[in-house]
Amino acid sequence: MSEKKDVLQKEDSVETNDEELKEALAEKSVDEEITEVVEELDELAKAQKVASEWEDKFIRAHAEMQNIQRHSREEREKLIRFRSQDLAKKILPALDNLERALAIEVANEADESLKKGIQMVQESLVQALKEEGVEEVKAKGVKFDPTLHMAVQTVEATDEHPAQTIVQILQKGYRLQERVLRPTMVVVAN
């Protein structure tokens, strides 16, 4: 009987060991699963960080491209808007010379006819410049503005010409849109 008891105890012991082994395996399996999940979460966090960095880089690159496009568009518009600036600056001295020629008094009909032709050329030049956006800076009798006028001489202020008003225009000034091509040379009451 003692043998039977020993066998039964051994069987109980084996069963207990089996259960303990199963529990240990189950615990080990749960620990391994937890470790795997933690590792996967770490990998996921790293992947999300990388994705976030790439998204940030993409957003910055996209914003930079939009800025470049906007800047390029503004430059094109500016070039188109002021495309005739250099040509206008070259034509203005010729226009001045035509106006000086028109200021000369003529004595006979032939000279009057020549003067009429010069006047027609001058008017067509002024009209062509207007069509390109070039206009004369108004100066006679207005208040002196250093952004539009260049004072080359001053005279005493009077009742007729109060201080800081333009008394005489020595050379006409012109501007293209809001940009001054050449300031008006003036005499200012001071």
Domain ranges (residues) in the chain:
1-81, 85-189
Above 70 in pLDDT, residue 139?
yes
Top-confidence range, 51-65, 70-84, 125-139:
51-65
pLDDT recorded at residue 13: 58
pTM of the model as a whole: 0.60
pLDDT recorded at residue 173: 95
pLDDT recorded at residue 80: 82
Query: What gap in Å lies between CA 178 and CA 127, rounded to an integer?
Result: 18
The SS3 call for residue 77 is helix
Distances (CA, A) of 146 to 122, 137, 139, 178, 179: 28, 12, 11, 14, 13
The SS3 call for residue 174 is strand
List CB contacts of 188: < 8 A, sequence separation 6 or more. 144, 149, 151, 153, 154, 155, 164, 165, 166, 167
Q: Which residue has the higher pLDDT, 140 or 123?
A: 123
Tally of CB atoms within 10 A around 8: 10
Q: For the segment 100-129, what is each residue's pLDDT rounded down to a tens digit?
A: 999 999 889 989 999 999 999 999 999 999
pLDDT recorded at residue 60: 96
Query: What gap in Å lies between CA 161 and CA 163, rounded to an integer?
Result: 7
Give the alpha-carbon dihedral of 72, 73, 76, 78, to 10 degrees: -110
pLDDT recorded at residue 177: 85
For the chain, give the mean pLDDT: 87
Query: What gap in Å lies between CA 54 and CA 61, rounded to an integer?
Result: 10
Look at the chain and count its residues: 190
Top-confidence range, 63-67, 81-85, 98-102, 128-132:
63-67
Distances (CA, A) of 3 to 8, 10, 17, 174, 180: 8, 10, 20, 127, 121
Query: What gap in Å lies between CA 125 and CA 131, rounded to an integer?
Result: 10
What is the average per-residue pLDDT within 161-175?
Answer: 92
Above 70 in pLDDT, residue 21?
no
Task: Indicate the class that CATH gives domain 85-189.
Answer: mainly beta
Above 90 in pLDDT, residue 140?
no
